[in-house]
Amino acid sequence: EAQVTQNPRYLITVTGKKLTVTCSQNMNHEYMSWYRQDPGLGLRQIYYSMNVEVTDKGDVPEGYKVSRKEKRNFPLILESPSPNQTSLYFCASSSSGAAYEQYFGPGTRLTVT
């Protein structure tokens, strides 16, 4: 089954404790992306990747890191989480860039206390 998976689905952590949210897709997609969803703000793009070892900032990259060492995986790293990073996070992939439909993962709800 074609899908994008994210882990964990729910996470409660404390300020400053490094964490990683994993994202994996099995569709051989080149483009992968991370978004955060906050009430009243919609979906905002954090980082995206056009291919292995190619990443770029979206609109809200501060406080986040990403890496793309393999085509199927695109982890989101929060080196020192803060309460303003409490949000619902979505990973997505598409066959060829932002011009094509995005396939979204199920979301990760992160709470930073």
Number of residues located near other proteins, criterion CB under 8 A: 27
Alpha carbon distances (Å) from 15 to 38, 55, 66, 110, 111 = 19, 26, 19, 12, 10
Cα–Cα distance, 21 to 16 (Å, whole number): 15
- Residue 34 touches other proteins, criterion: CB under 8 A: no
Closest approach of other proteins to the CB of residue 10, in Å: 12
In sequence order, what DSSP letters do the residues of 44-103 get, joined into one string? Answer: EEEEEEEETTEEEE-S--TT-EE--SSTTB--EEESS--GGG-EEEEEEEESSSTTSPPE
Say if strands 10-13 and 108-112 run parallel, antiparallel, or are unpaired.
parallel
Max CA distance (Å), the chain = 37
Which region, judged by CB under 8 A, interacts with other proteins, from 10-18, 52-60, 62-70, 73-81? Answer: 52-60
- Residue 102 touches other proteins, criterion: CB under 8 A: yes
- Residue 27 touches other proteins, criterion: CB under 8 A: no
Which region, judged by CB under 8 A, interacts with other proteins, from 19-27, 54-62, 65-73, 75-83? Answer: 54-62
Which region, judged by CB under 8 A, interacts with other proteins, from 10-18, 19-27, 55-63, 71-79? Answer: 55-63
Q: Which positions lie near other proteins, rule CB under 8 A? A: 31, 33, 35, 40-45, 48, 50, 56, 58-59, 88, 90, 92, 97-104, 106-107
